[in-house]
Chain A
């Protein structure tokens, strides 16, 4: 029975309530979760708008925790923060979302063709793959033995089944393709291992300068308008993960629409299939109930871990974790907890750490032996762009990649507006072997040289601002010229140009190598007396600028062209 209603928080007497139990409230059977118990009273955070609830309305305990449904039928779908399918909700309530809607997360009608991979009589245990369903041409949905079940397979059959029909019987237990999993509980790996290969995103500043490894965690904090969402979308579109879980957490409705509209038309760079065949969307837009926002990142993580356990490389984007933290803060305020920094609850740091630690790669439970990974990328929206605020600071403590989005760059329309002097990736040592083996032996040196030039540029610009361009040496002027090339011809990348939006790792290397080569060969040339203006006007400068729009094979010999063109200038200079 309900005793108190204050926004999304309801206090009620609930029979046999345990912390975490799912509760249904009032005549509309709104969904809530027990977050606190005090004497006979349970504090319930309600995942839907509470207007219309009355004192004395009933509160029914379902006895089970908030869970996700894991089964074929998730891919290509869009779900709200507590995994209700938004597409099916349209059929029930039209284009506005009514309250108290009860629709199963995955369709019970659709039949999937199940192909067993174990035989009757085999002995299996939790996590073992017993068969699979081709959910989309890109993803074979592996059916795994649920936790807590093991023993001899008594029956198993191939054929078309809906998700709740029995496909196998193990030690008397009926197994269907549908599993439930409490969203707040993490799914474990058998053994975690360190990151050793990059998540290739095709975004030059990320892949070359601040790469993220498969199984890593990254954050992208920045003020509004700095391009957080565009970066998240670019990662979702171009990264070489097998499966993408995109959580739109307290963000704009139109952004989700954009993804829904664009992804079916976009092709996966690896396979050429529509991107939606490897994407799952969770949408709690900013006008949807706040408590469900808090749950949405967990819903996303539970689904992502489930696919990781099948042996896939999964990437999850959460945009934006600040909205999630704010939802925590609001609930904490209503619970009258003692506030920590900036009103956030004292447990903000531990919740964030707990979330980002769900990233990782390693051995999954069960047979056959397989590796999976989950990469987490969270954006943070600090108030006023202030990086010292608690959500950014707590996130930086647990993520190893920091992409600092810079408002100044965004104003100059330099995109991606990632500040190259502030950002970092701690995965570079893990990935150095991959880069030198797969891309080029001197990849690390080329990157380091470019970074050095950019750092020098920042210092020189200070001087130029104070005393003018004429006061620095020709060689220093060359540094400025080359670093401008790095910025404008390499780091700048258009998300809207058909060619420029994705660069392969090899292309990235050759592009950067060309620019660095221009400096390496150009600086002795300038010292020898070759006219700087002449050097700046050389034909290769235009070619370097155009490399963004070139095909991979046309860029391969660009470094040599740069070298020979400058050498020609040098010899010309000597003779003349």
Chain B
């Protein structure tokens, strides 16, 4: 299969996403420049990587959502193509209205980089099907604005429609407040759109996809994508 990794000028996890997909997951992966007006042919999945797309001096991801490449990404997603936004990528998906809700400043008001535990809430998406059932995964987070917020109606809708892909939890899988690193409502760490082909998440699967770094829990997301593309 073939990944396309969008490079905004301030992306800084683009090369890490390439390493996870091309080297660890052994798939084709190519970079897509933010000024491009067409997508390369034959893409199966687009990654919006982490970083600070256009400096993020304005609301995170706000400027990126107006870039020329995002028009193409939105069209691709609306046609059912797989799109995964990681960290800043999740922020861009929200600003682009591909996913609902908002990502606020962390409750601590500080940037936070640490390992957290994740509970998979829905194993039937193209991004989660190969995750071992009931496994509590260890992922790293690194963000200043990852505090997921939405109206009570939307939270209910997300819960009812099983669109919350991941929740922050403790080592034993309890989705407790003490295991919530940024104040997200309902410990939400990642959500999918209605069709299930767009995933946004704050934790970084690409950072834990290489056994050389001591943890490769993240590779199961790329395994799932590969599986769903077939």
- Tell me, yes or no, whether A binds B: no
A residues touching B (Cβ–Cβ < 8 Å)?
Answer: none
B residues touching A (Cβ–Cβ < 8 Å)?
Answer: none
